[in-house]
Chain A
Amino acid sequence: KNEVEQSPQNLTAQEGEFITINCSYSVGISALHWLQQHPGGGIVSLFMLSSGKKKHGRLIATINIQEKHSSLHITASHPRDSAVYICAVVSQGGSEKLVFGKGMKLTVNP
């Protein structure tokens, strides 16, 4: 079983829809990242969370440490949001290594 699980694996939405991407993890963590990867490869860090909730524009990220779960919400989705969204955690214990989910491919149609 992977230490970081994302659901769904693929999602197709219509422009304007509210989208939720889920991430569950099984290890103790010191932080969780939501990453965005557009076609072509480059990865951008959207959020780094250790508790609570963060908001940036149309993106909202939440984390529940007790339930070992995080969600990324996209409000008023747009075709330019089409990308792969990757959840990654930093395990407790002093290591700086990231453990990655396999990513979720989002397609937003106009």
Chain B
Amino acid sequence: DVKVTQSSRYLVKRTGEKVFLECVQDMDHENMFWYRQDPGLGLRLIYFSYDVKMKEKGDIPEGYSVSREKKERFSLILESASTNQTSMYLCASSPSIGAFFGQGTRLTVV
């Protein structure tokens, strides 16, 4: 079975902290995605990557950056966490047009 693993289920961080959310997939997928999910807004794409060291902005990239140094790992970085970044963050990977999701990280910024 394909496995997409996010490093934390729950995180609490302080305003201004630099936050790293890690995502690892074990099926050699080229495409990886970071989404955030908020009540009433659904899932929104933050960043995605088609290959190592390649990244593209999604719909809501402001306040975030990403890193993909290895094919299996896609990191989401909050450079200076703010309270409006409190959300559920979901990572996904895809070989083509399939979609495999991680279990999600619920981030609270206080």
Contacts and interface: CB of A to CB of B under 8 A. Distances in A.
A81 B9 CA distance: 23
Contact of B99 (A40, A98, A101): A98
B42 A31 contact: no
A41 B104 CA distance: 6
Interface of B: 9, 31, 33, 37, 40-45, 48, 50, 58, 88, 90, 92, 94, 96-104, 106
B93 to A, nearest CB: 10
Give chain B's interface secondary structure class: strand
Interface stretch (A19-27, A43-51, A52-60, A66-74): A43-51
Contacts of A101: 42
Q: How large is the interface on A (under 10, 10 to 19, 20 to 34, 35 or more residues)?
A: 20 to 34
Given A96-B96, A97-B48, A97-B58, A42 B101 contact: yes
A85 interface: no
6 contacts: A33-B99, A35-B99, A40-B104, A43-B101, A48-B97, A102-B41
Interface of A: 30-31, 33, 35, 40-45, 48, 86, 88, 90, 96-98, 100-103
A43 B90 contact: yes
A103 B44 CA distance: 12
Contact of A42 (B33, B96, B103): B103
